[in-house]
Amino acid sequence: MSLRVRMVVLAVGLLGLAAMLVAAFRKLPGFGGSWHPYGQRAVETALGRHTSNVIASINFDQRAFDTMGEQAILFGAVLGTVVILRTTRDERRVEPEPARVPAPLRRYALAVLPVTLLTGLYVVAHGQVSPGGGFQGGVVAATALHLLYIAVDYRALQRVRSVPLFTLADAAGEAGYPLLGLGVLMTGASFLENVLPYGTLGTLSSGGTVPVLNAAIGLEVAAAVVVLLAQFLDQAIVIESEDGEQGAGSVGDGDGRRGEGGAA
Amino acid sequence: MSILPYLVAGWLFLAGCYGLATSRNLIHAVGSLAVCQASTYVLLLAVGYRRGGTAPVFSDIRPGSRPVVDPVVQALTLTDVVVGATLTALLLALVVQVSKRHGTVDPDELRELRG
Amino acid sequence: MADDLPIVLALLLVTVAGTATVLTRDPVRQVFALAGLGLALALLFAVLQAPDVALSQLAVGTALTPLMVLLSVRKVRRKARSERREEHE
């Protein structure tokens, strides 16, 4: 197919899709309307179960089974990435040279690291009370660890970040979620039902099983992000092919510290 | 106004598709796919918005004192944002692998390679 | 209508950022457009009263995804550069 024919096919397809989308959008309830039957029932149920963050109640209680599917996708994607990006036989690992970091940058990054880590853990822990939860806090906590790469160098990050350990933590979070569901079965309730005492609305110990499942997700997401970034950092910095690819600290690659621009 | 947010979602989806189809670099294609993903978030949250409503979190407001926006679509979007990022990682891993095996990330050159 | 002004502005920002992301053909520049889109989306979600989603979009869209794309670009460029050098030799 020539480029021209391809562009014509694409244009026809996009225009057709656009027409159908606009036709569908006209039938949707208008933006900002007050008719939200499911939302209203979800809010009532969440308050009935003493969970002040309705979204956490939906994710980890009312639709907990759905979230189990989501976290399985997450786990599968991480597993796939680890398998695809493993060091193959025709590759070798070249450990990067220690890097020199400007003192102000080092001080700033080292000061911010514990604050970011704490923020991440706080966001995970308060998922049932205020905006946040395992999904968001997990990502924040995991990226906090990588400030070490900016503050010191890749070797320091490698020393703290044991990939097998974090892979294990990822699997533990992934397995913990359905295991908690099975544990609930033991009590005679149905799978993933909220069986714990609901507690007092607006306190840390509210929401029954919500904080427990939330913690499992927090563990899984944090470990998953660490493992994922480890794969990509290894590929970009440490791993190179046997056939003539130049070393990490070589000319033209900078000093092996490029590529972390977005981490701050 | 009543369908403007939906139109924005539709536009993002079509723009992402256009980028995917005309991309000369697989990494650019993954970035375009991220724009498609973003369109679904915009659509879901736009459906759930309620004029004058506040966030469905009762840590600092009394239940029943104010109308809240629809929390169901927010819960769906929330999980999708994080799970979508790991899927982006999987696609990028595939791109890195393609570049290792074939030495190029241009879809057109890859098609020629296969013959 | 005046109440909706922040939402309209955020929607415009998202539209512009999304279009720019697609039209930026150079992957490295696209990373910055992508991070901008993440930021615009987080802003839109905040004015749409979705703080949970805004929080996760902020963490994922402005830090995690652009970082992974950037690292992939670096890997792919290194690979391409070393092969080109082999051809020249």
Per residue in A126-137, pLDDT (tens digit) is: 988 888 889 999
Q: Which of C8, C52, C76 sits opposite B99 (nearest CB)?
A: C76
Count the domains in chain B: 1
- Beta carbons of A246 and C78 less than 8 Å apart: yes
Residue B51 DSSP label: T
Residue A188 in this model has a pLDDT that exceeds 70: yes
The tens digit of pLDDT for each residue in A20-70 reads 999 999 998 888 888 899 988 999 998 888 888 999 999 999 999 999 999
Residue A129, domain member (yes or no): yes
Residue B49 in this model has a pLDDT that exceeds 60: yes
Q: Which of A39, A130, A231 sits opposite B48 (nearest CB)?
A: A39
Q: Which domain holds residue B34?
A: 4-114
Q: Which of A135, A138, A201 sits opposite B78 (nearest CB)?
A: A135
Judging by beta carbons within 10 Å of its beta carbon (0-12, 13-18, 19+), is residue A159 exposed, middle or buried?
exposed
Question: Which residues, in sequence order, are CB contacts of A240 under 8 Å at separation 6+?
Answer: A91, A92, A94, A246, A247, A248, C78
C79 contacts in B (CB within 8 Å)?
99-100, 103
- SS3 for chain A is CCHHHHHHHHHHHHHHHHHHHHHHHHHCCCCECCCCHHHHHHHHHHHHCCCCEHHHHHHHHHCHHHHHHHHHHHHHHHHHHHHHCCCCCCEEECCCCCCCCCHHHHHHHHHHHHHHHHHHHHHHHCCCCCCCCHHHHHHHHHHHHCHHHHHCCHHHHHHHCCHHHHHHHHHHHHHHHHHHHHHHHHCCCCCCCCCCCCCCCCCCCCCCCHHHHHHHHHHHHHHHHHHHHHHHHHHHHHEEECCCCCCCCCCCCCCCCCCCHHHC
Percent of chain A with pLDDT over 70: 91
Q: Do the bridges between strand A91-93 and strand A239-241 make them parallel or antiparallel, or are there none, so unpaired? A: antiparallel
Residue C83 in this model has a pLDDT that exceeds 80: no
SS3 category, B75: helix
Count the domains in chain A: 1
User: CA C15, C19, C25 angle in degrees (round to 5)?
Assistant: 160
How many angstroms separate the CA of residue C1 from the nearest CA in chain B? 8
pLDDT at A243: 62
H or E segment and range at residue C13:
helix C5-23
How many angstroms separate the CA of residue B86 from the nearest CA in chain A? 6
pLDDT at B29: 94
pLDDT at A252: 39
Question: Which residues, in sequence order, are CB contacts of A238 under 8 Å at separation 6+?
Answer: A93, A94, A95, A96, A154, A248
Q: Which domain holds residue A252?
A: 44-263
Count the domains in chain C: 1
Q: Looking at beta carbons, which pairs linking A67-71 to residues 24 or more positions away fall under 8 Å? A: A67/A177, A67/A213, A67/A217, A67/B79, A68/A177, A68/A178, A68/A181, A68/A192, A70/B79, A70/B80, A70/B83, A71/A173, A71/A174, A71/A177, A71/A217, A71/A220, A71/B83
Q: Which domain holds residue C17?
A: 2-88
Question: Which residues, in sequence order, are CB contacts of C32 under 8 Å at separation 6+?
Answer: C66
- Beta carbons of B71 and A18 less than 8 Å apart: no
Phi, psi at B17, each rounded to 5°: -60, -45
Residue B50 DSSP label: B
Kindly state whether B66 is in contact with chain A, defined as any CB-CB distance less than 8 angstroms.
no
Amino acid letter at C82? Answer: S
Task: Scan residues 41-70 of A and list those with Cβ closer than 8 Å to B.
Answer: 42-43, 46-47, 52-55, 58-59, 63, 67, 70
Residue A137 to residue A140: CA distance in whole angstroms = 5
Q: Average pLDDT of B97-110?
A: 86
Judging by beta carbons within 10 Å of its beta carbon (0-12, 13-18, 19+), is residue A182 exposed, middle or buried?
exposed
Residue A236, domain member (yes or no): yes
pLDDT at B14: 96
> A19-23, A154-158, A159-163, A204-208: which range is least confident on average?
A204-208
Answer yes or no: are the C-beta atoms of C40 and A200 closer than 8 Å. no
Report the Cα A8 to chain-centroid distance in Å: 39
Rounded-to-5 percentages of helix, strand, coil across chain C: 90, 0, 10
pLDDT at A203: 80
Residue B34 to residue C62: CA distance in whole angstroms = 12
- Reported confidence tier of residue B114, pLDDT bands at 50, 70, 90: low
Under an 8 Å CB criterion, which residues of C touch B? 1, 3-4, 7-8, 11, 14-15, 18-19, 21-25, 27, 30-31, 33-34, 37, 41, 44-45, 48-53, 56-57, 60-61, 64-65, 68-69, 72-73, 75-76, 79-80, 83
pLDDT at B111: 78
- Reported confidence tier of residue A246, pLDDT bands at 50, 70, 90: very low
pLDDT at A142: 93
The tens digit of pLDDT for each residue in C22-79 reads 999 999 999 999 999 999 999 999 999 999 999 999 999 998 999 999 999 998 888 7
Testing the interface with C: which of B27, B79, B98, B109 to mutate, by most C Cβ within 10 A? B27
- Beta carbons of A73 and B87 less than 8 Å apart: yes
Judging by beta carbons within 10 Å of its beta carbon (0-12, 13-18, 19+), is residue A94 exposed, middle or buried?
middle
- Reported confidence tier of residue A259, pLDDT bands at 50, 70, 90: very low
Residue A217 to residue A248: CA distance in whole angstroms = 35
Judging by beta carbons within 10 Å of its beta carbon (0-12, 13-18, 19+), is residue A72 exposed, middle or buried?
middle
- Beta carbons of A243 and C86 less than 8 Å apart: yes
Mean pLDDT of chain A: 86
Q: Interface pTM (ipTM) of the complex? A: 0.89
Residue A257 in this model has a pLDDT that exceeds 70: no
Residue with tokens 């966001």: A123
Length of chain B: 115
Token reading at B14 = 């079509």
C56 contacts in A (CB within 8 Å)?
135-136, 139
Interface size between A and C, measured as CB pairs under 8 A: 80
Interface size between A and B, measured as CB pairs under 8 A: 157
